[in-house]
Chain A
Amino acid sequence: MTIAFSKKLSRRNFLLASSCAIGAGSVAMMGSRYRALAASKHVFELDDLANRDVFTSCGMCVNKCGVIARVRNGVIEKLDPNPHFLKSRGMLCARGNAGLDTVYSPDRIKYPMIRTGERGDGKFRQASWEEALDLVAKNLQDLAEKYTRAGTVFVSTEGYQEHFFTTFAECYGSPNTLRHPSLCLASNIQGFGATYGTNPTPDVLNADYLIMSGANRSEALITPDSIDMLTGEGGKRKVVYLDPRFTKTAAKATEWFPIRAGSDMAFILAMTNVIVTEGLYAKQFVADMTIGFDELKTHIEQYTPEWAEAECDIPAADIRRIAREFAAAAPRAVYYQGRRSSFFDNDTQMRRAMAILNGVIGNWDQPGGMVPNSSIVLERHDYLAPWYDGVPPRLDSGSASYLSEKDGSWKYFRDRVIEGKPYPVKGMMIYKQNPLVSVANRQKTLEMMEQMEFICTIDITMNDTAYYSDVILPEATYLERLDPIESLGGILPVVTTREPCIKPMYESKPNLWIIQQLSKRLDDEIYASFDFTMEEYRHHQLRNRPDITKALKEKGVFYEKTTPTYGDTYGKRLKTKSGKIEIYSEKYAQKGLDPLPVYSRPADIPEGRYRLILGRNAYLTHGTTANNAYLHDLMPENSLWLNAGEARKRGLRNGQVVKVTSSLASEQLKLFVTEKIRPDCVFMSHGFGVITSGQRLLQGKSGSDAALIEDNVEPISGNIAMHQTFVEIHPA
């Protein structure tokens, strides 16, 4: 299959805006923050002063909730939830509402910039697009000649226009794309994938019994789970929550257990022990749909609730009771797998244990159980990546047992860049990812960046990574762009759209335009893969689907069903090698990995130190939104949570500034003395303690977790293991 439309349509300037000054009349309509912007004489275009309500989708986190943007006099005045948007249950969270500030923040990157001082000095000059793009293209060519095309790494994270960036990497000829999953779901996907052949979605809405370990759904919002968790039928729903911290999910849970960090697998194995030894498992289901149950039966004998009590600090009687309740509620019972990075280096096996526990109670593809995702298929664009001779394989090849060829592993990749082995990587193209904030061991990321000969960042704000770049290209925000149509899989899949509410402000451009401009400068053969407008791209995606086109226009969302279908996979082969649920993994055995999850106790916390743990809150998305004015109002800084008893013992006071020291760095932040955390752990929020001076609200405030956390790794998936760092605390 080839691209359906003619190349004659090429070289049209897509959303290419010429600037004109904003009229005084419309200025009067805006809020004070916006007025200040206009007064600063930054020129931007507003050619459409009509009042419009635009269906679009949120870009503040990964959920992509439905939004209606209320545009008045050419200004986005308010973002409202789209009531038709099934997946988000018609809601919009604090971040979604605050999305306005993404567009109107004074800290946006307004025009292309070229570094003039030393890296990290923050000295840049404004450049024309022409000059900046020429410079990037020249560097990409020079790097290819000096170091082969693998000498440049393409770093990016998810978003509706990320596809063009990774495609560009492929067409340029670099095997080295480095994405976010090794800081995120890689181990989860691996553990469930090895068991089920897919990573299913828990049917939270219909579950009667939910166990969440470290999945803080009331703060780490995931639609629709966060909402559905609180929508139990007549109080029938029970939520058991395990977390070293008393979070807002703990406040909502039926029972909370402050589990010892890193012992979740012991809890899961002990539950499995009870369910198997007491014969509470789904016998027919296990016989029909799984392989390796006999091996499990023997393997699980050692993991008694009494054994687990000592590991988890959860009474054996409770573990036994919860296991029995869980089995009794089956199949409407779910051990919820969460959605986060690895915390420990056994995370894939811990996920395997979760998958197996769900498997033996037979909740697979049942109401209230683990349901495989379905999705609505859109027409794909094909592209032809040119072939280049002499390009070596990925830099991190052969590192993790199951390395994703597309995503890579941040930990292994960065180490090898610093070592310069097996080959040098001297160029870095970055889209939307902010590794200086998101990757553990910030000092190492700086080392990696310092040895680069060229770094280009495409982003919307002057974050730490942009600050350390040589060229910065301003992208239009999610409220200013036309994006590809996006199909979101799930129990109830939807198709979403993202439409421009206003034209891109300042000189910002959509990523596709930036990629097209770079491609043109590199090679006609590369450009051929991007020779279309976004309108044409979308049109092609929706070819033969007038129903989707119509629904997106009328409701801003398309879906085929509003109630789940279950059981479609029964009687069919699953996508595992055996076609069944693999309790015992032959695949793992052949690779020399434990074919059944084997518990290993995390290292003891040394005397006088604490385990540093991480987590989310509902106001911030990773490192991307702390500088948002509305969200900053909710959370102006982070603090270090310390158990009240420990604080008393140490003579530390609430609110005092402390120095937190790990093996890597020291950071200073205020102490939050609370009963809400285990005495052996401390906690801090992510996204603060930035280096850049380009994020005004964050400058000089509180501490960075990325600076403190050691870059331990989960070796099966290559995921960073985030909870293996110990810190000392002293008064600052």
Chain B
Amino acid sequence: MKTKRFAMVLDSSKCIDCKACTVACKIENKVPMGQDNYRNWVAEGPLRGKFPDLGQSFQPGQCMQCANTPCDHVCPTGATRVNRDGIVLVDDHKCIGCKYCITACPYNARYYNEVTGAVDKCTFCVQRIYRGRQPACVETCPTKVRVFGDLNDRNSEVSRLLVKHAYKVEKPEMGTDPFLFYII
């Protein structure tokens, strides 16, 4: 079977910071309560200007599913691995909770799950996508900021969006080769 390259394209200009994605993710992935436990987030950009000339942007984020994965490189037990379709996963049983990966991640996309005793992170909702469903954050988003799909398929919406629009990735200087693309 041809491998896929899963990716997400986000149009942050549509984000209203309603945090539907955050709650949907917490429930879908049984992320424990508490503001420090999260697989995804909406970042409030800095307030630009002074009253009454103001502007602000909101940017959703989660694991960038990097091709060059600092988290994977530092993991001493091989608990973090990248599957054939480019999704970075953590094996709960192999994770010893040393948290090297949390430190290594430039995006602060990982947290330690007290309930499972393992580091946890966004998996693009593997439990959904291989059954033909959308990740919970994508599905629930009111304004449809996120688009999820396979970049190896040139007809997929993510492929089309990246052809049509200029985009950026977060912290390109880190050389992580992320697969979350933000439309400019």
Contact = CB atoms under 8 A, between A and B. Distances in A.
Contact of B115 (A32, A91, A92, A619): A32
Interface string A244-288: 001011111000111000000000000000000000000000000
Interface in A572-618: 618
A96 B27 CA distance: 12
A623 to B, nearest CB: 19
Contact of A92 (B20, B32, B57): B20
A633 B35 contact: yes
Interface centre among B14, B19, B26, B47 (most CB of A within 10 A): B19
Nearest to A630: B23
Contact of A32 (B20, B24, B32, B142): B32
B91 interface: no
A576 to B, nearest CB: 36
B126 interface: no
A400 interface: no
B47 to A, nearest CB: 6
A215 B57 CA distance: 19
Interface size class of B (residues with CB under 8 A): 35 or more
B96 to A, nearest CB: 22
B16 A618 contact: yes
A675 B47 CA distance: 8
A78 B142 contact: no
Nearest to B24: A97
A619 B27 contact: no
Given A80-B139, A256-B54, A97 B27 contact: yes
B20 A251 contact: no
B51 A230 contact: no
Interface residues of A, number: 50
A571 B94 CA distance: 74
Interface stretch (A160-168, A218-226, A352-360, A688-696): A218-226
Contacts of B54: 246, 250, 256, 675-676
Given A91-B140, A219-B16, A221-B18, A251 B23 contact: no
B142 A633 contact: no
Nearest to A224: B142
B56 A230 contact: no
Contacts of A248: 16-17, 58
Contacts of B144: 91
Given A227-B143, A230-B143, A258-B52, A98 B23 contact: yes
Contacts of A100: 27
A56 to B, nearest CB: 16
Contact of A634 (B19, B28, B50, B58): B19
Given A230-B14, A252-B16, A633-B35, A92 B24 contact: yes
B160 interface: no
Contacts of A631: 23
Nearest to A619: B19
A458 interface: no
B80 interface: no
A607 B142 CA distance: 43
A618 B17 contact: yes
A3 interface: no
Contacts of B26: 630, 633
B34 A633 contact: yes
B19 A676 contact: no
A89 interface: yes
Does more than half of chain A's interface fall in helix, strand or loop, or is it mixed? mixed
A97 B34 CA distance: 16
A367 interface: no
Contact of A93 (B20, B57, B115): B20
B142 A33 contact: no
B31 to A, nearest CB: 10
Given A94-B18, A618-B17, A630-B23, A89 B142 contact: yes
Interface in A628-679: 629-631, 633-634, 643-645, 674-679
A321 to B, nearest CB: 17
B69 interface: no
A226 B16 contact: yes
A81 interface: yes
A79 B14 CA distance: 23
Interface in B38-54: 47, 49-52, 54
B174 interface: no
A78 B27 contact: yes
A31 interface: yes
Contact of A97 (B20, B52, B56, B143): B20
Contacts of B115: 32
Interface string B125-168: 00000000000100111111000000000000000000000000
A230 B45 CA distance: 19
Interface in A87-137: 89, 91-94, 96-98, 100
Given A80-B140, A230-B143, A258-B51, A94 B56 contact: no
B62 interface: no
Interface in A1-50: 31-33
B83 to A, nearest CB: 23
A644 B52 CA distance: 12
Given A79-B27, A251-B56, 8 more contacts: A91-B143, A92-B20, A96-B140, A248-B16, A251-B58, A618-B17, A645-B51, A674-B47
7 contacts: A32-B32, A32-B115, A80-B136, A248-B58, A250-B54, A251-B55, A629-B33
Interface of A: 31-33, 77-81, 83, 89, 91-94, 96-98, 100, 218-219, 221, 226-227, 230-231, 246, 248-252, 256-258, 618-619, 629-631, 633-634, 643-645, 674-679
Among all A-B residue pairs, the 10 with the closest Cβ atoms: A618-B18, A218-B16, A97-B23, A91-B142, A94-B23, A251-B56, A675-B51, A94-B19, A93-B20, A97-B24
